[in-house]
């Protein structure tokens, strides 16, 4: 996974904007960065770093870690929130969490489920909220409490995938599994529409003579 905010075109205020972000010609087209824009804007330094030289991503949310991380996103200055923080204290991944068994990684981003899942009920599907004491941001209600209801899905840093995409240069299309919004199905930023749009544009340009 990668936060959509790191790979979205930015508007005239410099804010990630899937509806009015500017392309390389300063045209407000919205959407995600094209492969060319990823290269020219140095986005791989933000989301991948330099694995061969052991340089981590500049965005701390993209660093693979069991322990709680800290730091700020260099684009907007938003700090990571420590374990036990309030509801969506960090707008991208909620907050860091304690992992006493060292059996998982911190999240890079989270996004709301279509409907909450009750993890106290038998289900063939994986559920993340069987231990409310874990203070998992996926299980945190708007009032800050934790229970067996799972409200969010999650993604982990996708560094190996990004390393491959960087290696193929202008053929590498980067998307996010964490959508910006899933409420307005008529909008261009709904769900995975920005990802499919970027894929379509990249495919079209590759067919040009």
Per-residue pLDDT tens digits for 63-109: 999 999 999 999 999 999 999 999 999 999 999 999 989 999 999 99
Give phi and psi for 112, each to the nearest 5: -65, 140
The mean pLDDT of 186-204, rounded to a whole number, is 94
Tell me the chain's radius of gyration from C-alpha atoms: 18
Task: Give the whole-angstrom CA distance, residue 43 versus residue 40.
Answer: 8
Task: Give the whole-angstrom CA distance, residue 187 versus residue 20.
Answer: 12
The mean pLDDT of 10-25, rounded to a whole number, is 97
The mean pLDDT of 18-41, rounded to a whole number, is 97
**Chain centroid to CA 93: how far?**
8
Written as six digits, the tokens of 131 are 């231990």
The mean pLDDT of 108-137, rounded to a whole number, is 88
pLDDT tier, 205 (very low <50, low <70, confident <90, very high otherwise): confident
pLDDT tier, 202 (very low <50, low <70, confident <90, very high otherwise): confident
Task: Give the whole-angstrom CA distance, residue 51 versus residue 166.
Answer: 11
User: What's the CA angle centered on 14, arms 142 and 72, to 5 degrees?
Assistant: 55
What SS3 state is found at 40?
Answer: helix
35-39, 190-194, 202-206: the lowest-pLDDT one: 202-206
Q: Per the confidence metrics, is the pTM higher than 0.85?
A: yes
Instruction: Give Cβ neighbours of residue 29 (< 8 Å, ≥ 6 apart).
Output: 9, 21, 22, 23
Instruction: Give Cβ neighbours of residue 78 (< 8 Å, ≥ 6 apart).
Output: 72, 90, 91, 92
The pLDDT value recorded for residue 207 is 61
Tens-place pLDDT, residues 155-176: 999 999 999 999 999 999 999 9
Q: 73: buried, middle or exposed (CB in 10 Å: 19+, 13-18, 0-12)?
A: buried
């Amino acid at each position: 996974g990668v936060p959509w905010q790191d790979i979205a075109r930015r508007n005239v205020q410099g804010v990630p904007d899937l509806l009015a972000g500017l392309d390389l010609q300063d045209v407000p087209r919205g959407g995600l960065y094209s492969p060319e824009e990823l290269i020219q804007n140095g986005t791989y330094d933000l989301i991948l770093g330099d694995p061969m030289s052991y340089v981590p991503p500049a965005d701390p949310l993209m660093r693979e870690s069991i322990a709680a991380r800290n730091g700020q996103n260099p684009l907007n200055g938003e700090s990571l929130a420590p374990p036990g923080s309030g509801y969506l204290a960090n707008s991208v991944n909620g907050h860091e969490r304690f992992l006493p068994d060292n059996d998982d990684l911190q999240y890079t981003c989270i996004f709301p489920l279509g409907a909450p899942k009750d993890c106290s009920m038998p289900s063939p599907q994986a559920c993340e909220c069987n231990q409310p004491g874990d203070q998992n941001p996926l299980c945190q209600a708007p009032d800050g409490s934790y229970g067996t209801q799972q409200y969010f899905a999650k993604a982990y840093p996708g560094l190996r995938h990004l390393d491959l995409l960087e290696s193929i240069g202008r053929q590498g299309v980067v998307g996010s599994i964490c959508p910006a919004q899933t409420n307005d199905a008529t909008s261009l930023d709904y769900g995975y529409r920005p990802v499919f749009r970027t894929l379509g544009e990249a495919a079209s340009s590759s067919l040009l003579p």
